[in-house]
Amino acid sequence: MTSDQLSAGQSADQRAEADRLRAAAQAGKPGAYRAYAELLTERDRLDEALPWWARAADAGDADASRTLAICHKDRGEFAEAERWYRTAADRDGGCAFGLARLLQEAGDTAGAETWYAHGAALGSVECKTNGAVLLAARGEWDTALERLAEASAEGDEVATRTRRAIQDMLRDLAGWREALARAQAEGDPEEAYEALRDLLDPDRKAMFERYPRMVAEAEALYAGAAAVGSAKALVDQALFIARDDSRWDEARALVVRAHELGYDGAAYVLGVWAEENGELHTAEEWYRKADEADGGHLWACFNLGVLCLRQRRLDEAERWLRATGVDEENGDPFDESEGRIVKALGDIAAIRADPERMPPAEWAERLPELRTRAEEGGPDAWCAYADALMRLYRLPEAAEWYRKAGTPRALLGLGRMLHERGGAKGLRMVPYYEPAAAEGDAGAAYDIGRVHDEAGDRRTAQIWFRRAADLGHGRAAWWLGRTSEERGGDPQHAERWYVRAARSGLVPPAFLAGRSMVRRGACAEAEPLLRAACEGDHQEAPYWLAQALRGLGRTEEAERWLRVAAAAYPETLRQYGDMSRLAIPDPR
């Protein structure tokens, strides 16, 4: 690679500096590998930088090892990231910290603890703090506080804040225990439940996520309240147990017991759980029981209304929503709960006004024939019948036939239907997607990635999007490109993914790839991508196509496209908003 290729658009002095550093690196001068790698990285040429970072790491530069690991991690190449961290983790606290975090994110808590401890011994205060947090997560409070105090004394503000938060948490825990003990001594079930009310404060959600030991503490407290006779406490105990998927049956049994003991709210919880699991018939039954037991349970009525709405049982849906007592006229526009009900009523009106959103008549006409084939046939016919029922919004019946078929395609159809139309929780549907993904279905792999992305698990999402993209899924490649560019600051890696996404016919990544190429001076490569984006009516593409043509010396063509861009510029600003003036060049 020449210095001109390296730094298109750079000054003569900058090109000379690049040439000097490259020559020094090629000669193996001390520090030159890293200096040249840093220059390439600063100029967004990470592909070219990585081999020089590797030479620096091989020469014993621990910072280079850490940089390589971070780059590979940002690219979703986790095994390679781990390999580079391990090259220096035994002697460098920063690499030990990075390796520990990588292992922790992968679910290897024991490995993370080992490397946090090793990094702390090397003098990494960050390792000491994070290691202490892991100890606290499993309830080793005293040791954790002691190590956080040490890290705080070394100037780590994170340790200071964390230590204070844990002390506050333990003080609250002691208060809950004391209040519960008083209620237990008095044998008062209601007081026992009230003593623990603050445990369910939404602001404490992060506490339970960061310190799983607190989940066990909360479960034990609610078990104590339940032992006094509080049926409500049984439900809240179950809510904490249900965080562990392996204890799902145990959690459900506690809520059923609370229902049998006469707690009206238990039926509503069972309805929500059934809906999240895609058990539509069961959800409807429990919501009805909750409404009947409570003499008008607002959220059971709302959920029944939405459940019917999803199945295009519009008259029923409206009745249940009206039963909440909220309507379009008397709803409080500042009340979020009432706003949800009014919106659902508006959705019913919109569906009634749009025949395209109602069950298609042609599928209703075909249904008897498909039913006959299903009764006489096998999995393919069952799946076809389920597909027709799904199109007609007869979701519970469709679910039965999808389950009966049981093929990877049928299970994928079931999972998608329940998640996208039935209100099921995405993570609960992943097992339905997995058989099709294992057979090479790119869409199924993409769906799994999307579910994990929505759940905030970037690592797992990245793994699945990579699988989907390797199978040819354009949107998965687009996600990987955007993630690499926006989160990892790696435009070269992003560009490659954008190109792959563009091959599937997607317009935005074609534009993004073309713009990236123009910026680095690869105007000939950019031209066909930007032309495709222009044909797809991408508003910014004409400007960048003009720049590509100008770079190729075709100024008359460039001028024509600049005029197209200039004519569209006011509308582009209007659609993107005033702040877009800072990001979108003015072609005029």
pLDDT in tens, 528-570: 999 999 999 999 999 999 999 999 999 999 999 999 989 988 8
N-terminal to C-terminal alpha carbon distance within the chain: 35
**Two structure tokens written together for 91:** 């002697």
- Please state which architecture CATH assigns to domain 505-588: Alpha Horseshoe (1.25)
pLDDT of residue 578: 66
pLDDT of residue 579: 64
Distance CA 156, CA 360 (A): 63
Specify the fold of 210-357. Answer: 1.25.40
pLDDT of residue 582: 66
Residue 577 has pLDDT above 80, yes or no: no
- How much is the average pLDDT of 230-255? 95
Residue 184 has pLDDT above 90, yes or no: yes
Positive or negative torsion for Cα 436, 440, 446, 448: positive
Mean pLDDT of the chain: 93
pLDDT of residue 16: 86
CATH number belonging to domain 3-165: 1.25.40.10
Residue 7 has pLDDT above 50, yes or no: no
pLDDT of residue 54: 96
- How much is the average pLDDT of 215-219? 97
Sorting pLDDT into bands at 50, 70 and 90, what band is 1? Answer: very low
Q: Of 175, 42, 318, whose CA–CA distance to 327 is shortest?
A: 318
- Ranges of beta strands (E only) in 156-287 are none
Distance CA 337, CA 371 (A): 41
Most trustworthy range by pLDDT among 180-194, 294-308, 486-500: 180-194
Residue 369 has pLDDT above 60, yes or no: yes
Distances in whole angstroms, Cα of residue 248 to Cα of each of 60, 107, 112, 242, 259: 50, 21, 28, 5, 17
Neighbours of 181 (CB within 10 A): 13
pLDDT of residue 6: 40
**Two structure tokens written together for 144:** 């954790």
Contact 48, 40 (CB under 8 A): yes
pLDDT of residue 580: 64
Class of CATH domain 359-439 = mainly alpha
Q: What stretch(es) of the chain map to CATH 1.25.40.10?
A: 3-165, 210-357
The DSSP H or E segment spanning 261 is none
Q: Of 163, 240, 174, 164, whose CA–CA distance to 208 is shortest?
A: 240
Residue 2 has pLDDT above 60, yes or no: no
pLDDT of residue 18: 87
Q: Of 343, 303, 340, whose CA–CA distance to 320 is shortest?
A: 303
Q: Of 66, 75, 57, 64, whose CA–CA distance to 101 is shortest?
A: 66
pLDDT of residue 570: 85
Query: What's the pTM value of the predicted model, to 2 decimals?
Result: 0.90
**Two structure tokens written together for 502:** 């563009």
**Two structure tokens written together for 507:** 């317009």
Question: For the chain, what percent of residues have pLDDT higher than 70?
Answer: 97
Sorting pLDDT into bands at 50, 70 and 90, what band is 308? Answer: very high
417 phi/psi in degrees, rounded to 5: -60, -45
